[in-house]
């Protein structure tokens, strides 16, 4: 992964310096520490740490296999280090794959099996105005 050349330049004091070796652009390393950061009956939240980016800008692709997951080759893409999958079934296992991609190619995949919780998310409670007593409000 390393080019065998060095850059030269002058330091602020006027001395020549030599730096090296300088990495050449390459495919990124796989994401690290893939983990489940949250879940509900209909969603899974995942987080990871980026590996070496290969010396180029990278983004991450996430795929899930299981009931109601986006079908392959559909993949969710993010430049961040976390993502939430929604619209899933309660109490269901999903196999999640995350890999990094840059202009030189894809990293090796990282996999995680996660299970949504048994209870789907309840809809938010509806606020209802209290009913006025019959005949209107009375002041004491």
- Residue 139 domain-assigned (yes or no): no
- Residue 83 domain-assigned (yes or no): yes
- Looking at residue 3, its pLDDT comes to 42
- Residue 15 domain-assigned (yes or no): no
- Mean pLDDT of all residues in the chain? 78
- Residue 1 domain-assigned (yes or no): no
The whole-angstrom separation of Cα 91 and Cα 44 is: 11
% of the chain surpassing 90 pLDDT: 46
pLDDT digits (tens, 9 = 90+) for 30-84: 999 999 999 999 999 999 999 999 999 999 999 888 887 766 656 788 888 998 8
pTM, whole model, 2 decimals?
0.66
- Residue 75 domain-assigned (yes or no): yes
Which residues are paired to 45 by β-bridges? 38, 84
> CA 60 → CA 2, 9, 19, 38, 55, distances in Å?
24, 36, 31, 19, 15
> Which residue from 100, 56, 105 is spatially nearest to 78, judged by alpha carbons?
100
- Residue 49 domain-assigned (yes or no): yes
Task: Please count the CA atoms within 13 angstroms of the CA of 76 that sit on its side-chain side.
Answer: 19
Q: CATH number of the domain that 39 lies in?
A: 2.60.40.10
């Amino acid at each position: 992964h390393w080019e065998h050349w060095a850059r030269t330049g002058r330091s602020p004091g006027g001395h020549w310096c030599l730096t090296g070796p300088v990495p050449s652009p390459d495919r990124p390393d796989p994401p690290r520490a893939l983990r489940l950061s949250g879940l509900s009956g209909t969603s899974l939240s995942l987080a990871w740490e980026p590996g070496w980016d290969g010396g180029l800008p990278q983004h991450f692709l996430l795929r899930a296999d299981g009931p109601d997951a986006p079908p392959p080759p559909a993949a969710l893409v993010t430049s961040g280090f976390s993502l939430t999958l929604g619209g899933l079934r309660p109490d269901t296992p999903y196999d999640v794959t995350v890999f990094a991609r840059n202009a030189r190619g894809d990293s090796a995949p990282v996999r995680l099996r996660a299970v949504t919780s048994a209870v789907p998310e309840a809809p938010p409670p509806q606020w209802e105005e209290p009913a006025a007593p019959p005949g209107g409000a009375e002041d004491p």
